[in-house]
Amino acid sequence: MQDIGHKKPSSLWLLPSLCLAATVPGQGAEVIEIATNDSAMIFVAKPGAPVVFRHWGGKIDDKRALLQKGYNENLQVLPAFGGRNHANIALSLVHADGSLTTELICAGVETSVLDDNRVETIVHLKDSLYPVFVDVRFTAYKSENVITQRAVIFHREEKPLRVESIASSYIPLRANSYYLTHFHGAWGREMRVTEEKLTPGVKTIEEYRKGVQTTMSDNPSFMLSLNHPADEDAGDVYAGALAWSGNYKLTFAIDEREILHFTGGMSPFAASRILEPGKIMETPEMVLTYSDRGRGQASRNLHDWCRRYGLAHGDQPRAVLLNSWEGAYFKFDEKTLTDMMDAAAELGLEMFVLDDGWFGNKYPRDNDKAGLGDWQANKKKVPRGIGYLADYAVAKGLRFGIWIEPEMVNAKSELAERHPEWIVKSPGRAIPESRNQWLLDLSNPAVQDFVVKTFDDVLALSPNITYIKWDANRHVLSPGSEYLPADKQTHFWKDYVDGLYKVYERVRARHRRITMQLCSSGGARLDYGALKYHDEFWTSDNTNAVDRIFIQYGTNMIYPAIATAAHVSATRNHQTGMMLPLKFRFDVAMSGRLGMELQPKDIAGEERSFAKNAIQNYKLVRSIVQFGDLYRIVSPYDEGARAALAYVSKDKKQSVFFAYTLQNSARTSTFDVRLKGLDPAKNYKVAELNPKNPSGVFPGNGNTFSGDYLMKAGISLKIHRPHESVVLHLTEK
Ligand code: DGJ
């Protein structure tokens, strides 16, 4: 995991002159290049003048031409309000004397090689008049072609100043037209893909004042295609994802010169704060990538970066698990759970996760109205305690995991009785409930200590607990902190998230090996800020396989399959009320981190053998899905009501291919499709996995084809009715 801390920049302001990353002599201005293997972001600086953006895209050999372009001071590295800058502002301050103007000029540039793959570049800026200093910090991840960007502000004015807004990243782009892809949705339909042509004016994507659930309406991420709608495999695509679990704002503004200005970071509302002299304020990181091979390569860059830098244990395979929620909800006793574990072991699963409902005694957690906050095992439901259940799992050859929601409290709980001062609320007003619960004030260090202790205490219930599902089922309503002073109430938004991250840091430092799932009413908190402390996320409470094809398609544009929990459930078709075929449900879930979430005793006879076999098959292809490269082949949004995708191992020796027919039957009787991502020079044996009957739907089953043939001529699958599917495993021959 990456350190989110930073060095105090104090001594650096004494640099006598510029020390630039790359220098082109004799021009008065100099080039700063932030380069990855295949991309570069380039700025131009001269002493005492603003640092100006010049380029983001493919690498440029001859950088002198960049210096010859006009020296346009409006396209600065971090445009601050005042002077000539009035639009597309990334920083806005009210100085201690009330002045609204800030003019940032270059005060030096530092470049450090962090290791073989990472170079950090810090652009030091200072105000031309006031002792206000801003660092714009970039890290280039060479082999992943990712650049992260954030800003740090610090001042030595005599009195506090007010930060009105500070973005993580500002980038201008020039093209004839711009197409924005973003991920809109709601509970149960997260990450719907929307692509739109941007028109002159401003398009904003934001999570306004909900605070702690980033993905309730839109995810803090985007893709941008220049001059035409994004193609999967060709053309310039820029992608970004803000690593922040609070209010955010991403703005795309086309000005009168048809330049697109992207500004992204915490929403100004959440960033507004009083900054004391000598104190540092730091923005979250924006994770950026450029691809000249369409959306597909942009996703693969982000996935590679995430597995290596943005996810806990990103190099370790994920277990196939059974979660108790949809199979038992709150209604279980010890036997219900041990029966589920027996079945899980028999099916070949590797872990059992006990979800909500196991705690609370004075106020038992028998529904969502009581008990939250009282993290002691319920004596009636689990009389022999969690230790007994965890040992039972281990004796069956399973790992054991457990659910917590430590940021929240029910009104009906001992915790709410003991600590009313910890509850987020506006003074003197009723505290609105959402899912019958309130939020604990994580800006308060005492609450942070409580959450860390809760985590420790729950793990202390058994040394055999190795997985925690961390849920968070409400957002901020009627905000207010009894801990923060009256003049710092607006700090709540950022301090809550900083408090949450402090807690994550502490629990991760104490429990490095624990697997953690990020969950929030399904996928409502999905961002690279929280994800780096977790091993995976719960993608959606909607486990309907048809809906999941869309949800997983959108989610995996930005976040990788290894972290995408995808469970086979017993959810019925929304329109017909019929159960979707078990094969279809497995084939969809197997394209992510496979799990099950149902009452396993309801799967009997042939279905049981099918499930066992499918779980075995997943283990066969798990490393390709979890560590391979994703190729989207047919979008579920396209006409034809079909979808197809594949993962290809990094050495291109193996691939696993998935195809689905959706709700409406397709027009032809076969699904003809060309594969992607293979090595044209290699020969692959193609085996159908999970066939419904021995003859399967791929006539070439068991035969060998060249990668060239499979990608140019393609294959023909005998599927066309709704909810049919196929999985093919390709291995080099
Ligand atoms: C919401 C989660 O998304 C579900 O998976 C489940 O854990 C429930 N909360 C439990 O209350």
> Is a pLDDT exceeding 60 seen at residue 608?
yes
Among the atoms of ligand 1, which is closest to the Cα of residue 323? 5
Query: According to the 3-state scheme, what is the secondary structure of 648-701?
Result: ECCCCCEEEEEEEECCCCCCCCCEEECCCCCCCCCEEEEEEECCCCCCCCCCCC
> Is a pLDDT exceeding 80 seen at residue 356?
yes
Question: What confidence tens digit (pLDDT) does each residue in 83-106 have?
Answer: 888 889 999 999 999 999 999 999
Categorise residue 618: left if φ over 0, alpha if ψ from -120 to 50, beta otherwise. Answer: alpha
Please state, in angstroms and rounded to a whole number, the distance separating the CA atoms of residues 349 and 401.
13
Question: What confidence tens digit (pLDDT) does each residue in 390-417 have?
Answer: 999 999 999 999 999 999 999 999 999 9
Ligand 1 binding pocket includes 538 (Cβ within 6 Å): yes
pLDDT at residue 216, rounded to an integer: 82
- Token readout for 641 is 């009501």
Please state, in angstroms and rounded to a whole number, the distance separating the CA atoms of residues 155 and 80.
15
Phi, psi of 580 (to 5 degrees): -70, 150
Question: What confidence tens digit (pLDDT) does each residue in 231-242 have?
Answer: 999 999 999 999
Please state, in angstroms and rounded to a whole number, the distance separating the CA atoms of residues 340 and 599.
7
pLDDT at residue 309, rounded to an integer: 98
Pocket test for ligand 1, best of 215, 324, 407, 471 (most atoms within 8 A of CB): 471
Question: What confidence tens digit (pLDDT) does each residue in 322-337 have?
Answer: 999 999 999 999 999 9
Residues 618 and 635 placed together within one structural domain of the fold = no
Among the atoms of ligand 1, which is closest to the Cα of residue 469? 7
Task: Report which of 454, 457, 373, 367 is spatially closest to residue 415, judged by C-alpha positions.
Answer: 373
Q: Terminal CA-to-CA distance of the chain, rounded, Å?
A: 38
Question: What confidence tens digit (pLDDT) does each residue in 610-638 have?
Answer: 999 999 999 999 999 999 999 999 999 99
Which residue's CA lies nearest to atom 11 of ligand 1? 356
**Within-domain flag for 421:** no
**Mean pLDDT of all residues in 431-453:** 96
Please state, in angstroms and rounded to a whole number, the distance separating the CA atoms of residues 563 and 545.
18
- Token readout for 4 is 């989110």
Alpha helices in 485-604 (DSSP H): 492-510, 528-531, 545-558, 582-589
Q: Of 59-63, 503-507, 677-681, give the lowest mean pLDDT range.
A: 59-63
pLDDT at residue 578, rounded to an integer: 85
Name the domain boundary from 627, 649, 665: 627
**Within-domain flag for 248:** yes
Among the atoms of ligand 1, which is closest to the Cα of residue 540? 3
Residues 283 and 365 placed together within one structural domain of the fold = no
pLDDT at residue 661, rounded to an integer: 95
Name the domain boundary from 584, 601, 627: 627
Identify which has the larger pLDDT, 330 or 3.
330
Identify which has the larger pLDDT, 651 or 269.
651
Among the atoms of ligand 1, which is closest to the Cα of residue 541? 3
pLDDT at residue 12, rounded to an integer: 36
Q: Of 65-74, 582-591, 599-608, 717-726, give the lowest mean pLDDT range.
A: 65-74
CATH number for the domain harbouring residue 686:
2.60.40.1180
CATH number for the domain harbouring residue 46:
2.70.98.60
**Within-domain flag for 434:** no
Q: Which residues of 193-202 are buried (b: 16+ CB within 10 A; e: fewer)?
A: beeeebeeee
Residues 456 and 551 placed together within one structural domain of the fold = yes
> Is a pLDDT exceeding 90 seen at residue 68?
no
Please state, in angstroms and rounded to a whole number, the distance separating the CA atoms of residues 249 and 209.
11
Please state, in angstroms and rounded to a whole number, the distance separating the CA atoms of residues 549 and 661.
10
H or E segment and range at residue 193: strand 192-197
**Within-domain flag for 479:** no
- Report the helix count and the strand count for the chain, using DSSP H and E: 14, 38
Pocket test for ligand 1, best of 404, 468, 541 (most atoms within 8 A of CB): 541
Question: What confidence tens digit (pLDDT) does each residue in 709-729 have?
Answer: 999 999 999 999 999 999 999
Write out the catalytic residue numbers: 471, 541
Name the domain boundary from 627, 655, 676: 627
Residues 363 and 239 placed together within one structural domain of the fold = no
Among the atoms of ligand 1, which is closest to the Cα of residue 522? 3
H or E segment and range at residue 399: strand 399-404
Categorise residue 362: left if φ over 0, alpha if ψ from -120 to 50, beta otherwise. Answer: alpha
Q: What is the signed CA dihedral for 192, 196, 201, 204, rounded to 10 degrees?
A: 10
Alpha helices in 103-200 (DSSP H): none
Q: Of 66-80, 192-206, 521-535, give the lowest mean pLDDT range.
A: 66-80
C-alpha 187 – ligand 1 centre gap (Å): 12
Percent of the chain residues past pLDDT 90, beyond the cut:
87
Residues in CB range of 404: below 8 A, 6 or more apart = 375, 454, 455, 458, 468, 469, 470, 471
What is residue 333's DSSP assignment? -
**CB–CB of 91/104 below 8 Å?**
yes
Please state, in angstroms and rounded to a whole number, the distance separating the CA atoms of residues 288 and 301.
10
Ligand 1 binding pocket includes 325 (Cβ within 6 Å): yes
Which residue's CA lies nearest to atom 10 of ligand 1? 356
CATH number for the domain harbouring residue 612:
3.20.20.70
**Within-domain flag for 430:** no
Residues 38 and 163 placed together within one structural domain of the fold = yes
Q: Name the pairing type of β-strands 564-569 and 593-597.
A: parallel
Task: Report which of 635, 584, 587, 571 is spatially closest to residue 192, judged by C-alpha positions.
Answer: 635
**CB–CB of 668/641 below 8 Å?**
no
> Is a pLDDT exceeding 80 seen at residue 22?
no
C-alpha 567 – ligand 1 centre gap (Å): 13
pLDDT at residue 26, rounded to an integer: 43
C-alpha 686 – ligand 1 centre gap (Å): 39
pLDDT at residue 665, rounded to an integer: 57
Whether this model's pTM surpasses 0.85: yes
Residues 638 and 562 placed together within one structural domain of the fold = no
**Within-domain flag for 438:** no
Residues 539 and 570 placed together within one structural domain of the fold = yes
Average pLDDT, the chain: 93
Residues 609 and 461 placed together within one structural domain of the fold = yes
Domain total of the chain? 3
Residues 68 and 194 placed together within one structural domain of the fold = yes
What SS3 state is found at 338?
helix
User: Can you tell me which residue has the tokens 């201008």?
Assistant: 172
Residues in CB range of 283: below 8 A, 6 or more apart = 150, 151, 152, 166, 167, 168, 265, 266, 271
Question: What confidence tens digit (pLDDT) does each residue in 375-390 have?
Answer: 999 999 999 999 999 9
Which residue's CA lies nearest to atom 9 of ligand 1? 521
Q: Of 48-57, 143-152, 226-235, give the lowest mean pLDDT range.
A: 48-57
**Within-domain flag for 199:** yes
Identify which has the larger pLDDT, 20 or 356.
356
C-alpha 471 – ligand 1 centre gap (Å): 7
**CB–CB of 223/205 below 8 Å?**
no
User: Can you tell me which residue has the tokens 């000029």?
Assistant: 105
> Is a pLDDT exceeding 60 seen at residue 16?
no
Residues 225 and 265 placed together within one structural domain of the fold = yes
Residues 618 and 645 placed together within one structural domain of the fold = no
**Within-domain flag for 687:** yes
- Token readout for 59 is 């690498």
Q: What is the signed CA dihedral for 334, 336, 337, 338, rounded to 10 degrees?
A: 80
- Token readout for 564 is 């995408």
What SS3 state is found at 499?
helix
pLDDT at residue 1, rounded to an integer: 33
C-alpha 520 – ligand 1 centre gap (Å): 7
C-alpha 558 – ligand 1 centre gap (Å): 23
Residues in CB range of 686: below 8 A, 6 or more apart = 698, 700, 701, 702, 703, 704, 705, 710, 715, 728, 729, 730
Residues 515 and 401 placed together within one structural domain of the fold = yes
pLDDT at residue 213, rounded to an integer: 83
Ligand 1 binding pocket includes 522 (Cβ within 6 Å): yes
What is residue 423's DSSP assignment? B
pLDDT at residue 668, rounded to an integer: 73
pLDDT category of residue 184 using cuts at 50, 70 and 90: very high
Question: What confidence tens digit (pLDDT) does each residue in 553-571 have?
Answer: 999 999 999 999 999 999 8
Please state, in angstroms and rounded to a whole number, the distance separating the CA atoms of residues 444 and 441.
6
pLDDT category of residue 70 using cuts at 50, 70 and 90: low
pLDDT at residue 564, rounded to an integer: 98
pLDDT at residue 214, rounded to an integer: 81
Which residue's CA lies nearest to atom 2 of ligand 1? 521
Q: What is the signed CA dihedral for 376, 378, 383, 387, rounded to 10 degrees?
A: -40
User: Can you tell me which residue has the tokens 């973005």?
Assistant: 167
> Is a pLDDT exceeding 50 seen at residue 11?
no
**Residue-number span of the structural domain to which 707 is assigned:** 631-732
